[in-house]
Amino acid sequence: MTMNDHVQNRKTALSHVERLDRLAEVAVRVGLGLKPGQEVVLTAPLDAVPLARRITEHAYRAGASLVTTLFTDEEATLIRFRNGRPESFDTAAGWLYEGMAAAYKNGAARLAILGEDPSLLANEDPENVSRANRARSKAYMPALNLIAGFDTNWSIVSAATPAWAKAMFPNDAEEIAVAKLWDAIFAASRIDTPDPIAAWAEHNANLQKRTRFLNEKNYAALHFRGPGTDLRVGLADGHEWNGGSTRAKNGIVCNANIPTEEVFTTPHKDRVDGTVTSTKPLSYQGTLIQDIQVKFEGGRIVESKARTGEAVLGKVLETDEGARCLGEVALVPHSSPISKSGLLFFNTLFDENASSHIALGQAYSKCIVGGGAMSEDELAARGANKSLIHIDWMIGSDQVDVDGITSDGRAEPLMRKGEWVSS
């Protein structure tokens, strides 16, 4: 379906308010799988108030006991970077993240609405940005561990905001740009289908069929080849592929990402070697990092460069010991709906679902067989990485091939020109 089709659909079939309501229902019923009696911790940018209110309504209809919403203000963020004292960037709201972690431990569901300006901090001091990000990551770690381990059900959805829309459609007036971005979000989130809930059930079944195939194969490694890329990613011992919906430790089935097109697993932190070049820009904490090129040896990045945002990338890699190692590898066909839209979202939630990708930093214990019951030392022994960060960036395209490497070293074709070879 073309962008014009989406615009026409919005005008003749469903109103914007109706589609927004559908997205909110998907966020609660599919994203969270919310159960009666659960609390919800909701975060959102100020521009996403209409969607946040719709989600709140659907959450209460589903039986939520309490919805607590925390709004973020990008203008306030800029004020901090332009007026704060240098030493202040080592401070983060640890009390807030400790409270969030306590909520998750007590069974609260977590829902985040994204919609940030991809270049918000492009003109700010990279050192201050790095210090602030590091402080926040350290403070957030107690909550992040619970999310990464799927201790509770959680999900992420997006809302069109003016700054994000203008980054995607710079030649359009703000109103038109925002409308186009909403059309793209609704389409990618399966909101324009006759029955979005049923469409998500079918999509999850297809992704899980793919994960079963990969788990049966139990490859020892993946080999990516393409322009600027010759990368061998060893997989963790006892790794497990996941995709689509996931059962959290509390027994609730959730979709962590709305939308999602990926199947993913845990690499071995010490068994990644070769070179890799990004195929899409990475928007990280308000900085746009383009044309990333890195070299891995023994699992660690030993060389790195980027056309833009290189200073911020360098600071990211200095975050901690695990920041130079991989915590995730994911496969996405080039023909995914998000890729076929032809749009570059400057937003990892969407762009990672248009392309195979890797993630620096923290691994998901969910992607190790029995990992949810393992200690950090036991996970590390299997090859799972530990870090304050988890940053996905895209390495797939219609020019990238992927082989599965068996335990005896044979290469089996998995993807050719970005498309699946086997079903």
At 285 the pLDDT is 75
Contact between 220 and 234 (Cβ < 8 Å): yes
Q: Per the structure block, which two tokens stand in for 10?
A: 């919005």
Distance CA 229, CA 301 (A): 14
pLDDT of residue 423: 55
Q: What percent of the chain has pLDDT over 70?
A: 97
Residue 6 above 80 pLDDT? no
pTM here is 0.86
- What is the pLDDT confidence band of residue 172, given thresholds at 50, 70 and 90? very high
Locate the domains of the chain by residue range: 3-188, 218-241+261-420
Across the chain, which distance is largest between two alpha carbons, in Å? 58
Tell me the fold of 3-188: Thermophilic metalloprotease-like (3.40.1830)
Average pLDDT on 295-319 reads 95
Q: pLDDT, tens digit, for every residue of 20-52?
A: 999 999 999 999 999 999 999 999 999 999 999
